[in-house]
Each structure stands twice: as C-alpha cells, then as structure tokens.
Amino acid sequence: MFRYLLSFILLLFIVTGCATTDPKSAGPAEGVKSFAFVDGQVVDVAGDMFTIRANLNLDKSGMDFNQRVAATIVEKAFLLENMVTRINGKKATVIEGRGYIYIFAGQGHKFTTGQQVKIFVPKKTLAVTNFKALKNNEEIGDLWLEDLTTAMVNTGQFNVVERSRLGTILTELKLEMSGLTDSSQASKVGKLLNADIILTGSVADMGGYWNANLRLVNTATSVILTAINDKITYGELKPDSLRDSSPLNASFEDGKTYGFNVGYKERKGSERNTIVDSIGANGTKKCLRTDFSVNKKKGRINLANTKDRDLSMYKGAEFYAKGDKPFNIKFRLVDENRDNPHAIDIFQYNIRLTKEWKKYRVDFSELRYKKPRDGEGSKEMRMGDTVLNLDLIRDVIFFYSPSQSPLVNGQPTKSGTYWVDEVKFY
C-alpha cells in the first residue's frame, strides 16, 4: 500500500511540472528549462561508496550571454560537495565531483555497475554580486543584472538572494558590492547570506566587445567551481543595459565633471553655462558653477547627470549648494517605466538656496511626483505610472524655473548663479 501511495505522489509531482524534464529538450531561445532529476549510470561500486556518471549536457548554441552563464552554472553546480540528495529515492551524500563523474556515499543502495539511475537535483541558494564594469581601465559602473538574475531563476535550480540583502551584508563588512575577487572573501559573504554558491567577477570593454571574467564559488569550501571567460558582443550587452550603482561621490576636486552637462547651453530664451569653479564647499577647492538667465516665465535651467543608475540600495542624496541670491532650485530624479523604457516620471524636492554654502540631505521618500508639462518630453515620454523606480533612474537634475521660485521684490529671478559641490548618494 505504501509503495502505491509513494508512486501516486511521484506521479503527481511530475504532472504538476516539478519533476523530470529532459535537459536536452531546453531550446536555445528559451534557455535552460527547469528539471528536478538527472539520469545517471553507475560506473563503480565500493561498499557504501559508488561512482555515477551524470548525463547532463546542455546545448548552449544560440544562447545569449545570460543564458550561457545560467547554463554553465547549472552544469557546474547542480550537485555540490557534501550536499545530501537522493538516488532512486534513497538518501546519498555527494563526496566529490569531477566533471560529470560524481562519488556518493550512502547505505542500502545495492547498485551494480552499468545500472541506470535517477539523481534528484536539490535547489541551491545563489547570491549574485554586481559585476565591476570597466571601460578604458576606468570603472564606469556596475552591470545591470536583472536579466541575468531572471535567467538564473528561470532554470528552476536556484533560489536567488535579493541584492538588497547582499548590499546590507557588504556594508556591514565594509566591502565593495562589486569585485569580490578573493574566493575566501566571497565564501564568507555567501555563508552570512545562507547561500550555497556566489557568483562574482568583472566585465571589461575591449573595444568592439565586452570580456566577462566570472567566478562561481562554493561557499562551504571556498573552492572556485568554475571560472567563466566569455566574449560578449555589444548586441548582447548593450550600453543601455549598464547602470551605475555607485554612490557617485562627485567632489570635482580632480577637475572631472562626473557626468554633469557642463558647458554653454541655449534653449528657447534660456541660457546656461556650467563650469568647474575654483571654489568649493566644506574645505574643498572646486565645485560646479552654473550661470543662467531666462527671459520667459516658463524658462528653465537643467544641470543634469544623464547616466543610467540603479539607486535602489540608497536612501537619499546629499550635497552642498548656494546661490548668489536667495532663490529656489529643485533636486529631481527622472525614472523609466518598468514596462515602457520610453515613458518617464519626474520626482522632485524643493531646495531653498542661500548666499552661504549649506549642506542639503534629501531622502528619496520626500520626493514628490511632478507631472511633466509641455516641452518636458514628447507625448510618448509623458506616459509614466507615477511610481518612483529607483533601480531605473535615467536623470539626476538640479533644476531651476522662475515659475517655481519665490518672487524677489515682486519679480521672478530671471538670472543668477548657483554652485553645487560634494554630491553623493547615501
């Protein structure tokens, strides 16, 4: 009776889609399909220890970068050393793996050489760090990992740790989110996250293609399970898939503009000229200075940083600012819609400038939605969902408009200067 009941449960497991799927049936366009069992063949038996060749051979032809990485990780980590699994329904422990050859230990199996078996593949918990992205030997930001994480989840082999948890652990350990190059360090982080494996590495622009160097670490042993070196075409890894999740830390001391749109700009009666000035806040010697003039009430001045950013790990922004007279500017974040990259939302916070340097700290929760008006984007670009997507930020802006600033002696401020320094996210 028990045997029939067990057979019924196993049949139900298969019907509901959680059981065996032939790995070879995974089409290249769909990536690696979920499977719970792998076929194997016993090649040697020595008492309670036995060696089995696993029949797992995933065809990676036609796969994109994310699918290839997911397939490689499935191949290298579908069974881990010291992992407890089941073979033909009976408990067994993985002692060692060599390619597709695995040594197990277990009692009561009574296998014979050449016997065909079913190996249960337990789910593993995977942590994925932000990859350090390099261009011309300069760090340009962390690789946007949403598609890669999705590919991992879709294999059905992994529970993927939320990046917010990973960020919290790294902050506590005072480590960088990207570039955990030391396997023992990566292993330590993985253990704190209760992760079985951790994926880390870097991606570098080589001119015409990206070169990916990734490492998969078994957190229990600190052993690198596989090192992935892959060339990625720009078609696979487009520039717009890169998002910077760094804290920015724009001090301007080195003369760099950190992506802000400096220089002279004229638009519909408004003029703006932004330079790196030779004064600074908080003891620094340089900052960004913006001289502006508008001749219309609807004129506006944007000091914008248009790098795509992932700010989901930050609570807000802080910076120093002052004006040549008291007037208002807005600190703005412009995001993309999750379902439509051509749709935007504007969120802003009012900053009252004084003639002296002042430190401002803006919590993202204090930003308020601003409905775009005519001229702030095409008709299509005003189809926002009014939700602030911090992981999809496209613009960070210091904005001035006379219509949104208090009157001075009964008149709007049509010209002036303001300075910004020490801009960073916290």
Same domain, 234 and 156: yes
Domain co-membership, 154 together with 211 = yes
Q: What's the average pLDDT block by block, 10 residues per block, for the chain (426 residues)?
A: 42 37 36 82 95 88 83 91 94 93 94 96 87 53 65 88 71 57 68 84 72 86 86 62 77 92 88 94 93 81 90 92 93 87 88 95 95 56 75 92 72 89 95
Retrieve residue 174's tokens.
């005072």
What is the rounded CA–CA span in Å between residue 255 and residue 207? 26
Q: Residue 378: give the domain boundaries.
A: 263-425
Q: Is the pTM of this model over 0.75?
A: no
- Examine the domain organization and report whether 316 and 341 are in the same domain: yes
- Considering 67, 89, 121, which residue would you say is the last residue of a domain? 121
Q: Is residue 51 part of a domain?
A: yes
Of the candidates 102, 121, 140, which is a domain's last residue? Answer: 121
- Tell me, yes or no, whether 215 and 359 share the same domain: no
pLDDT at 177 (0 to 100):
47
Distance of CA 312 to CAs 27, 43, 247, 285, Å?
A: 34, 50, 11, 31
Are 276 and 183 found together in one domain?
no
pLDDT score recorded for residue 235: 57
pLDDT attached to residue 12:
40
What is the residue whose two structure tokens read 């190059």?
Answer: 181
Q: Do 83 and 130 reside in the same domain of the chain?
A: no
Q: Of the residues 212, 242, 272, which one is the last residue of a structural domain?
A: 242
Query: How many alpha carbons fall within 13 Å on the CB side of residue 55?
Result: 16
- Note whether 146 and 63 are same-domain residues: no
Q: Are residues 74 and 216 in the same domain?
A: no
Q: Domain tally for the chain?
A: 3
Distance CA 384, CA 177 (A): 30
Query: Which two tokens mark 126?
Result: 């995977």
Instruction: Indicate which CATH number applies to the domain containing 169.
Output: 3.40.50.10610
Q: Is residue 274 part of a domain?
A: yes
pLDDT at 258: 92
